[in-house]
Structure 1
């Protein structure tokens, strides 16, 4: 077998594993791993099989890969890892698996944010709970100059889920006066957006406008 043919033959199981993970076919994932497919194979976008499974919220395929030792912190070309992606999208079961298998709580996405910040923005209350309990820094500031609290206010809708997230951040000891890059505080942002209940909670926690 020539060099090119040998390389193609070696790559075939890896490509099949990436495809099976992306399809959520846990049984095939396990079979391909037993056949020697590379656990950390990469597709053209830098995704590993675990990232492909996470993108589709395929819990059992992700579990099979993690049980086999897949790196939950391996990042693709746009700096997503299985851990960061699960947090951002609210995929609680996969997030729990990553947290139990070495998730780097200080790792950041392409915006310089931890997993907590997009979870706050998108209203993933249960994910915010999980990440705060795990020990993610409530006051981490991303490249935009925003914390999770600021994103919950600025990009949230002020409704029940974002109110619940603000409450949890306050209870976790988040700095309610940590302003954005222009010096605007969370309370000032809440008032500007007519988020009366969030403003009330912030005021009760000692926030300044």
Structure 2
């Protein structure tokens, strides 16, 4: 058995923080508990204001997202500079599995970003209908508008997605 006095010292905290962000970005979920145990704050933010949870989510790392949530990351914690949460980012990127993980952890499906857009609006912008269905199942409001007056309906139209726009025409706030 190795004596604790023989173990090398831990790297500086700045390096441990970098390692946590790297683990989140690359899906190295097995590293997360050790880094947190070493004292890294699970809600630490990088220069852009991202937390490890946002980084894992935005990079499509389902296991790392789940590991961070299991370790106590706040599902609706820090948002990015535009006010986008992890849920909004994965809806825009089309990561349905991670959206489900975040929703199961209690993500606010109707939270608004800095310009008043919701996760449903993000999914509408890129035509992610499966994610939109998932959000609607979790209580997403389809009849709201952002700060510029855009609705799910008008955002779908702006992207040329007439089929999706038709689906939400009746929910448009101007209807």
CA contact (8 A) 2:33 2:71 kept: no
Which blocks of at least 5 consecutive residues in structure 1 are unaligned? Answer: 1-33
**Closer/same/farther in 2, CA of residues 42 and 177 from structure 1, 3 Å limit:** same
Residue aligning to 1:36? 9
CA contact (8 A) 2:87 2:119 kept: yes
* d(CA) in 1 for partners of 2:45, 2:152: 31
Displacement of 1:150 in angstroms is: 1.1
Q: Using the TM superposition, give the Cα deviation of residue 111 of structure 1 relative to its aligned residue in structure 2, in angstroms.
A: 1.8
Q: Which residue of 2 aligns with 1:187?
A: 153
Q: Look up the match of 1:119.
A: 90
Larger RCO, structure (CA 8 Å, separation 6 or more): 2
Deviates more, 1:129-138 or 1:61-70: 61-70
Match of 1:177 among 124, 143, 162: 143
Residue in structure 1 matched with residue 27 of structure 2 by the alignment = 57
- Would the aligned equivalents of 2:29 and 2:67 in 1 still touch at CA under 8 Å? no
Give the number of the structure whose alpha-carbon radius of gyration is greater. Answer: 1
TM-score between the two structures when normalised by the length of structure 1:
0.70
Contact 1:47 1:75 in 2 (8 A): no
| Counterparts of 1:127 and 1:198, CA distance in 2 | 22
Q: TM-score, structure 2 length as denominator?
A: 0.82
- Structure 2 counterpart of 1:15: none
> Which residue of 29, 46, 53 maps to 1:76?
46
For structure 2, the residue ranges without an aligned partner over 5 or more in a row are: 1-6
SS of corresponding position for 1:48: helix
**Could you give the per-residue CA deviations for residues 68-127 of structure 1, whole angstroms, max 9, x where no partner exists?**
554321111111111111111110010000110111122212221211001000000001
Distance 2:37 2:96 in 1: 27
Q: For 1:60 and 1:133, how far apart are their aligned partners in 2?
A: 21
